[in-house]
Amino acid sequence: MAPSPNEDHGSRAGRLRSRRPTATVRLKAATLAGRVAATASKIAGRGSGASIRGKVMMQLDPQALAKLLVGKRVAMVSGTNGKTTTTHFLAAAVRASLGRDTYRLVHNADGANLHHGIASALSERPRADIAILETDERVVADMVRLGRPEVLVLLNFSRDQLDRHHEIKGLGRSWRNALDAVGLDGPVVVANADEPLIVWAAQTARKVIWVDTATTWIQDASLCPNCGANLVRDQPDPEAGTGGDWHCTGCELAQPKADYAVVDGSIVDPEGHRWDPQLNVPGSFNVSNAACALAAAQLMGIDADTALVGMRTVTSPAGRFATARYGETTARLLLAKNPAGWAEALPLAQTDTVILAIDSAAADGRDVSWLWDVDFEQLAGRTVVATGPRAQDLAVRLTYAGVEHRCVPDLTAALAGHLAPVDVIATYTPFQKLRKMGGV
């Protein structure tokens, strides 16, 4: 309701003050109810309770998320692949800088990254003044508006959950519009310079720090998001360890000059200093994730030495790369949600037997046609087990790839009886089941 033109400033301020206790009481009541719901969920064995806590909170207080963001330095991380690990890297860097004051930090470490999950995490440490938040691609625009983040890390766009994210350009446009709307009040963006759609989305930000991540997956970037013309890439430079720069054939959109770069497994900063990340998670893609996290950490005032010390404490972010026991079987868990993720995960599978777990629940995306974009041919000569509710679909793809395999839809049966350690690569839903089964 607009104030009356005859109402003086003092009376308006008094009226607003009188509302604050009611708003605070409502948030506290919603938070308490959410905690009760989360506890009930855990007791019932339905999960961590993070999502239901947030749902209950926001049902009782629709403004809970906005209220919980007030007064915090916020850094957000989003993208199709790597956002969980990158957020863990950044949170670990902040934690290392805080020393004993880690109570000041809140982080949605379990990966619950929609509105409800973020509200849930924030409610666990409402007095924290620093929030490091993994943010689903679909809610970035809302979070930019509500949280006014200080730093926003944008990693990549890839075809993911095809039935829900039909056209990734639509997501990119929502980011671009959100950054344009907040203008000079918006975040400093740390953006992947190798990704054309990310570059286009970040163009409206008030300031961008570009990271050359040496991306190898380019199948999702063939047309210019600005004008629709073909994108072309220069020849890669093997000695530098980087892919070729890209540019549009129809407009001026082109790969920007990087501030940070991944070169031969190291991170080169804007001053030209070369940092060996010495991470405790595998994969060249995680060096790229660490480069983005390092850029964000330095924007937040954390020196590189401290940031990297923190990042090296990350070993199995939200269960990724964790090793668990299933009866007599020892398994390492790898998450792969889409072709870009599988392209990175498959080379990490080093065991003689590899188990591939596929589902098409809502969290996985119901459309599994992406299986035909994955290079399963590289598994030829290995012992492969296809499992999960969509094991038969995977078995067909493996047959065409010339990969000998067994089809065992039941996850427990597929894991049984392996005397030597195995690597398991799974989509989201079976991955979460494996975490629960293995106590990860």
Which parts are annotated binding residues for Zn(2+)?
224, 227, 248, 251
> What would the two tokens of residue 410 be?
């039941």
Distance CA 171, CA 365 (A): 16
Cross-strand partners of 423:
332, 354
> What would the two tokens of residue 268 be?
């080169």
Residue 312: half-sphere exposure toward Cβ, Cα within 13 Å? 10
> What would the two tokens of residue 149 be?
């983040």
Distance CA 281, CA 255 (A): 28
- Whether the Cβ atoms of residue 182 and residue 144 lie closer than 8 Å to each other: yes
Query: Residue 355 — φ and ψ, nearest 5°?
Result: -105, 130
Q: CA distances (Å), 107 to each of 15, 175, 263, 346, 415, in order? A: 35, 22, 29, 29, 32
Query: Residue 404 — φ and ψ, nearest 5°?
Result: -65, 135
Q: CA distances (Å), 347 to each of 168, 208, 289, 354, in order? A: 26, 32, 17, 11
Q: Are strands 105-107 and 151-154 parallel, antiparallel or unpaired?
A: unpaired
Q: Are strands 383-387 and 405-407 parallel, antiparallel or unpaired?
A: parallel
Q: Is 264 a catalytic residue?
A: no
Distance CA 396, CA 207 (A): 48
Q: CA distances (Å), 28 to each of 55, 58, 118, 405, in order? A: 15, 12, 16, 54
Q: CA distances (Å), 379 to each of 239, 338, 352, 403, in order? A: 28, 17, 10, 6
**Which distant-in-sequence residues (6+ apart) come within 8 Å of 344 by Cβ?**
81, 217, 283, 284, 285, 336
List the helix and strand counts (H, then E) for the chain. Answer: 14, 17
Distance CA 206, CA 51 (A): 33
Q: Which of 342, 337, 304 is nearest to 318 (CA)?
A: 337
Which is catalytic among the residues 259, 269, 367, 393?
367
Q: Point out the residues that are catalytic.
A: 367
